[in-house]
Amino acid sequence: MKKSGIIISASVLATVFAVNFTACKKENQQSNTPGILIQEPNLKAEDNKYLEKHGVNNDLAVLGRVLFYDKNLSVNNQVSCGSCHKQEFAFADNVKVNKGFNGIDLKRNSPSIQGLRGFGNDNSTDFNSNTGGFNPPTETSMPTKDNQTDLLLFWDGRQNSLADMVLNPVLNHNEMNIPDFETLINKINSISYYPELFNKAFGSSEVTKEKIAYALQGFIACLNTDKDTGKNTNFNSEPFEDNFSPVLITSTLTGIEEEGRKLFHNKYNCAKCHDSNPQDPGEYGAVTSPSQMFNIGLDEVYTDKGLGALTKKQGDQGLFKVPTLKNISVTGPYMHDGRFNNLGEVIDHYSHNIKPNNNLSPLFRNFDGTPKKLNILPAEKSALIAFLNTLKDEDFLTSPMYSDPFKK
């Protein structure tokens, strides 16, 4: 999802919009403005509990939700952010790779965008103690790439700014293909339901790139499932057994699920990468530190070089971000290229299929440099999968708060 570096001529744009209008007119009623898809979001007041649950202003999150699911944000009204990041799949998708606005396969698997941080700054002016939520942004408080430095976004970690990330797919020439921000703003200004939504969120119906980005961030900031996901599992930070894992205080895990949890945290130490925040044990969220990118031996020679494609450094080739394990049972296919169809195939990789590679992480090397073979037993594999399945949050996957408001 990188920004397009292509300059599109006026004649090409005219052709694209003309073809789009003809095609869409057959299936969708159009407004008086060519290229606009007529639809009305179905917004219910009882669904708007963003402030109560996530500390995000309700009106801001509602605007962000509408923008997130609005196909008008693509050049031919065929693709929205929600087309690749679907609620029922924990805002990932169930296909190897998605297709862009033109039906062409995209390069990578769509990662889950749940649990992303970076909304709002540390400035005290951003938080309103009276409402318990974030204020609309000012010129000085607007999140920018310069005041967000603790994030790791996309599979290759190429951005640390959520403010930039949310609009990248809109301008990407393979994904949504809006040519520039002026075109995007003009298009949104032509849609009947946005003046009221922007006015509620910002006190003004004026549409700007910054407001669009901030509203999208506000909604995405709500895409967080509770730490105690699915089954009742509560932890404290006291060490046990390997001086790394959290102690399980209360649990409704079954015998096989509890066995999987112990294997995860102890014998195979999956938590070294997937639950490495000592301040928040049991989180299983996406790791945001750039030091937590790994080459896990998927290939001997990587076609997609990950971080190495950006840095051009030999030592960075094949390094990719550690994903969240929240709702992991519904986010397959897995890995940056969607090569593994299910969790069993993922475990098989770590068990006996790690490939030799010059950049293979030391975590997966023997003393002689050869790839480790964990040789996970069939019963252990079943237990690990049973435990990972407990990280599913049904409410998060079905709540109207996060759903597509344009679905009838």
- Name which of 113, 138, 116 is nearest 125 in CA terms: 138
Q: Residue 48 — pLDDT band, cuts 50, 70, 90?
A: confident
Backbone angles phi, psi at 293, to 5 degrees: -120, 135
* Least-confidence region, from 67-76, 143-152, 167-176, 339-348: 143-152
Over range 374-386, report the average pLDDT: 97
pLDDT greater than 70 at residue 238: no
- Name which of 201, 117, 223 is nearest 162 in CA terms: 117
Beta bridge partners of 236: 247
Rounded distance between C-alpha atoms, residue 325 and residue 112, angstroms? 10
Q: Residue 144 — pLDDT band, cuts 50, 70, 90?
A: very low
Please state which CATH class domain 233-392 belongs to: mainly alpha
Residue with tokens 């949104």: 188
Rounded distance between C-alpha atoms, residue 362 and residue 372, angstroms? 10
SS3 state at 234: strand
* pLDDT per position as a tens digit, 318-347: 999 888 899 999 999 999 999 999 999 999
Give the DSSP letter of residue 11: H
What sign does the dihedral 49-118-64-395 (CA atoms) show?
negative
Over range 189-207, report the average pLDDT: 94
Which pLDDT belongs to residue 121? 41
Rounded distance between C-alpha atoms, residue 179 and residue 165, angstroms? 16
* pLDDT per position as a tens digit, 93-123: 999 998 877 778 888 999 999 887 666 543 3
Beta bridge partners of 340: 334
Q: Residue 204 — pLDDT band, cuts 50, 70, 90?
A: very high
SS3 state at 284: coil
What does the radius of gyration of the chain's CA atoms come to, in whole angstroms? 22
pLDDT greater than 90 at residue 124: no
Q: Residue 298 — pLDDT band, cuts 50, 70, 90?
A: very high
Q: Which amino acid is at 391?
A: L
* pLDDT per position as a tens digit, 241-283: 444 555 555 568 999 999 999 999 999 999 888 875 555 556 6
Which pLDDT belongs to residue 135? 52
Which pLDDT belongs to residue 136? 53
Query: What percentage of residues in the chain have a pLDDT greater than 90?
Result: 49
Which pLDDT belongs to residue 226? 66
pLDDT greater than 50 at residue 35: yes
| CB within 8 Å of 336: residues ≥ 6 apart | 108, 109, 111, 155, 156, 304, 306, 320
Residue with tokens 């999140």: 143
Question: Which CATH code fits 10-225+398-402?
Answer: 1.10.760.10
pLDDT greater than 50 at residue 148: no
The ranges of the chain annotated as CATH 1.10.760.10 are 10-225+398-402, 233-392
SS3 state at 261: helix
